[in-house]
């Protein structure tokens, strides 16, 4: 990993108003670029808005390929790596919750949410692969909101070389401080246990369907400690953080504070293959 600056964006998204949302992404991306960012991460479902109801009324109003192309153009314009989310339509099937990574050199790829919350599962289709993204500044993974509660995802990404994990959210309810305290119950463990940076951001504002997002952004170091936070309740904003390669190197060079090399996966393999929570059900 190289030294880099990340921008974690808290933005309000209007449901179905793709062009309006894209215009706002452009404004905030330019602000992130002017602030010296190398990578700007926007919340889950930024371009399309987030809903727990059927998206059938929006079928045909956008497609993933067009949105991805427009993000590549914006990435070139701002010289940023952009990580931006939207609902990806699938004619005749449930849509995906998708996060696109685009850079000045073109499309880096798409990550489709693999672990859906109980409220999301009736509306959306779960993704089936854990995409990783390799850029000159380092290797990063993406986890979307509810997925951050599954420790195996972060460990998998760390074992595949991740230096950073971006965790864009569309997480409603509560104040910014309440949301921050909720995140601090689990996100520091994802960073500390795996020796990597974690960057999280959330949508902002109320939707016409009654969801209210408090914002909040957070950057954690590979030691699990907070580097910086944004908690300007229900207001858009950008959280900047400079991530130092030497910091990551120091943590991973510490014989007691870097845990991955001491794993014993042969002890866990049977459990991973055969054991399940008594109340669990297979993914669709």
Judge whether 82 and 71 are in contact, CB under 8 Å.
yes
For the segment 115-151, what is each residue's pLDDT rounded down to a tens digit?
Answer: 999 999 999 999 999 999 999 999 999 999 999 999 9
Q: How far apart are CA 204 and CA 154, in angstroms?
A: 25
Q: Percent of the chain, pLDDT > 70?
A: 93
Please give the CATH architecture assigned to the domain spanning 4-274: 4-Layer Sandwich (3.60)
Closest CA to 158 of 199, 193, 183: 193
Confidence of residue 259 (pLDDT cuts 50, 70, 90): very high
Task: Retrieve residue 255's tokens.
Answer: 């014989």
Cβ-contact 164, 243 below 8 angstroms:
yes
Q: Are residues 108 and 135 in contact, defined by beta-carbon separation less than 8 angstroms? A: yes
Tell me: pLDDT of 273 over 70: no
Q: Which residues pair with 8 in a beta bridge?
A: 41, 239
Q: Within 10 Å of residue 4's Cβ, how many Cβ atoms?
A: 22
Residue range 68-89, pLDDT digits in tens: 999 999 999 999 999 999 999 9
Its pTM stands at 0.94
Q: What is the pLDDT of residues 224-241, one digit of tens each?
A: 999 999 999 889 999 999
Mean pLDDT of the region 208-221 = 94
User: DSSP for 195-224?
Assistant: T-EEEEEE-EEE-TTS-EEE--EEEE-TTS
Which of 24-28, 182-186, 214-218, 274-278 shows the lowest mean pLDDT across its residues? 274-278
Separation in Å, CA 112 to CA 89, 128, 214 = 12, 8, 24
pLDDT, residue 274, reads 59
Q: Angle at Cα 24 formed by Cα 230 and Cα 51, nearest 5°?
A: 80
277 has pLDDT over 80 = no
3-state secondary structure of 140: strand
* Average of per-residue pLDDT values in the chain: 93
pLDDT band (50, 70, 90) for residue 36: very high
Would you say residue 281 has pLDDT above 80?
no
Whether the per-residue pLDDT at 249 is higher than 60: the answer is yes
């Amino acid at each position: 990993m190289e030294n880099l600056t990340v921008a974690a964006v808290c933005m309000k998204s209007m449901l179905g108003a793709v062009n309006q949302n894209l215009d706002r992404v452009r404004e905030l991306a330019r602000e992130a670029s002017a602030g010296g960012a190398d990578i700007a991460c926007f919340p889950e479902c930024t371009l399309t808005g987030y809903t727990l109801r059927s998206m059938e009324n929006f079928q045909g109003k956008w497609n993933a390929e067009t949105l991805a192309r427009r993000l590549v153009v914006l990435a070139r314009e701002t010289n940023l790596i952009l990580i931006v989310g939207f609902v990806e339509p699938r004619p005749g099937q449930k849509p995906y919750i998708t996060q696109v990574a685009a850079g000045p050199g073109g499309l880096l790829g798409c990550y489709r949410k693999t672990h859906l919350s109980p409220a999301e599962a009736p509306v959306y289709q779960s993704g089936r692969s854990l995409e990783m993204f390799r850029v000159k500044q380092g290797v990063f993974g993406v986890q979307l909101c509810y997925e951050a509660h599954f420790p195996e995802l972060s460990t998998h990404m760390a074992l595949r070389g991740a230096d950073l994990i971006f965790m864009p959210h569309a997480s409603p309810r509560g104040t910014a401080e309440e949301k921050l305290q909720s995140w601090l119950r689990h996100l520091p463990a994802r960073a500390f246990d795996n020796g990597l940076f974690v960057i999280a951001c959330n949508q902002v504002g109320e939707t016409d369907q009654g969801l209210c997002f408090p914002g909040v952004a957070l950057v954690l170091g590979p030691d699990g400690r907070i580097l910086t936070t944004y908690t300007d309740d229900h207001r858009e904003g950008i959280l900047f953080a400079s991530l130092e390669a030497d910091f990551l190197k120091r943590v991973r060079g510490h014989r007691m504070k870097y845990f991955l090399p001491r794993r014993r996966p042969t002890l866990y393999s049977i459990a991973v293959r055969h054991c399940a929570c008594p109340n669990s059900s297979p993914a669709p």
